[in-house]
Structure 1
Amino acid sequence: MNPQDPVGPVEVRRSRKRLRTVTAYRDGDRIVVAIPARFTRAQEREWVRRMVGRLADQERRRRPSDDELTTLAAELSARYLRGQAKPVSVNWSTNQGRRWGSCTPTEGTIRISTRVRGMPRWVIDYVVLHELTHLLHAGHGPEFWEALAAYPRTERARGFLEGVTFGEERLANPDPDADAAEPPAGESPPDTADADEVADDEVADDEVADDEVADDEVADDADDPGEVVSSARA
């Protein structure tokens, strides 16, 4: 794990149902690490470090650089906007707040939130194309959506991003009456994509880091507190 490449907040989830596996996946701008409930604190720290590092390495391999984002933007403009959107620059940005991206039409600059990193490529394509379309249409009027409709996964990508936003809001303001949902061991969270999209886009392995815990790495005398959610930072 490169300390110069921050991964954001880390949430640790303990579960009685999880016995021999540790899973890490990204949920919006945070990383969730699911571990067996009987892990000691020392084991928790070690496995969080290990799994966050593995997931961060996977994301760096698949995440486009600024130069690659510029190339991607040119390709998307040519394919869906008849090459009419010509940005001066397209860069990753860490200060987009709740926005997925932003565009300054007068300068021709586009900034894509680093929160998008690790998402399926077709979602990244949508976010970049959304900002490209703003170079042609400043607002979100009918002409904007008509132009963006040329991208076949517009509605699916919007739904994906809405799901991420909903999940983040639930984490920030949890419903005390709702049971905490945990994805099956070694699988992506259920709202990341449906099964055929995972297969088609081959993103499952990149979205989830999973490992098996050897018996001698688990403290047999640890308490069994049920599912506990805590926060950490790698």
Structure 2
Amino acid sequence: MATQQGWTEDDVLRAIARGEIEVRRSARRKKTISVSKEVDTYVLSTPVRYSVELNIRSLTDLFNRLAARDHSSAADLVGLAEEMSERYFGGRLRPQSIRWVTNQNVSRWASTTTSTGDIRVSHRLQTVPRWVLETVVVHELAHLQIGPHSKEFHALADRHPRQADAKLYLDGFSAGEHFRRDR
């Protein structure tokens, strides 16, 4: 896909040709375009008459903005868990493994198996703002010490200062996903 320096116009066109970017045209969409990520594919939703070729410069800018906030690699997730453990738990809560998964149901953002120390994070969070993902990881790290959602657990998980903001963000994100599915 993109290079380390970001997307070029040729990168975008090649990714479309290879199917790494799927263009979905909709008669219901009149003016706007959007890009989302579905595991290993970007989905570009456009009006029926939208010309990718005529708009390649603005599309390239859009993909570069998306890439700037993308933290979807496995290494990024491991690094984030290490950073959050150091920052909020003095480095003592470390997962045995942490990875992206595609089998989390629509109401679950992540899960932890306390007996093995494994954390799984929904791929749907790959493009949320970093601070939102941080709160989810802190929440799951807290489960490594306290399993159930008790008062003590929340005191530990709420060490991230934007935990309440992230809950609001994720509630809206989830509502948007339901809206998109119901259309």
Is the structural similarity TM-score above 0.5? yes
More relative contact order in 1 or in 2 (CA 8 Å, sep 6+)? 1
Report the aligned-residue RMSD.
3.8
Matches of 1:8 and 1:146, distance apart in 2? 43
- Sequence identity percentage: 30
Matches of 1:159 and 1:9, distance apart in 2? 30
Q: Does 1:26 align with 2:26?
A: no
| Structure number with higher helix proportion | 2
Which one of 155, 158, 165 corresponds to residue 174 of structure 2? 165
Aligned residues: 164
State the partner residue of 2:94: 86
Which one of 62, 76, 100 corresponds to residue 68 of structure 1? 76
Offset, 1:28: 9.1
- What's the CA shift string for 1:153-181, capped at 9, x where partnerless? 1011111111011112223335xxxxxxx
| TM-score calculated relative to the size of structure 1 | 0.56
Matches of 1:139 and 1:94, distance apart in 2? 24
Answer whether contact 2:77 2:99 (CA < 8 A) is retained. Answer: yes
Offset, 1:8: 8.6
Offset, 1:142: 0.9
Answer whether contact 2:24 2:46 (CA < 8 A) is retained. Answer: no
Matches of 2:19 and 2:135, distance apart in 1? 24
- Structure 2: runs of 5 or more not aligned: 2-14
Does the C-alpha gap of structure 1 residues 172 and 9 become closer, same or farther in structure 2, counting only changes over 3 Å? farther
Offset, 1:126: 1.1
Does the C-alpha gap of structure 1 residues 93 and 27 become closer, same or farther in structure 2, counting only changes over 3 Å? closer
Matches of 2:55 and 2:136, distance apart in 1? 33
Alignment of 1:216-227 (within 5 A): none
Whichever of the two has the greater Rg, that structure is 1
- Structure 1: runs of 5 or more not aligned: 175-234
SS in 2 for 1:62: coil
- What's the CA shift string for 1:111-156, capped at 9, x where partnerless? 1111101110101111111111111111111111111221011011
Does the C-alpha gap of structure 1 residues 117 and 59 become closer, same or farther in structure 2, counting only changes over 3 Å? farther
Query: Greater CA deviation, 3-12 or 105-114?
Result: 3-12
Matches of 1:105 and 1:134, distance apart in 2? 7
| TM-score calculated relative to the size of structure 2 | 0.70
State the partner residue of 2:4: none
Answer whether contact 1:28 1:116 (CA < 8 A) is retained. Answer: no
Matches of 1:9 and 1:96, distance apart in 2? 25
Alignment of 1:1-234 (within 5 A): 1=1, 12=26, 14-15=29-30, 18=31, 23-26=33-36, 31=43, 33-35=45-47, 39=49, 43=51, 51=59, 55=63, 58-59=66-67, 62-98=70-106, 99-174=108-183
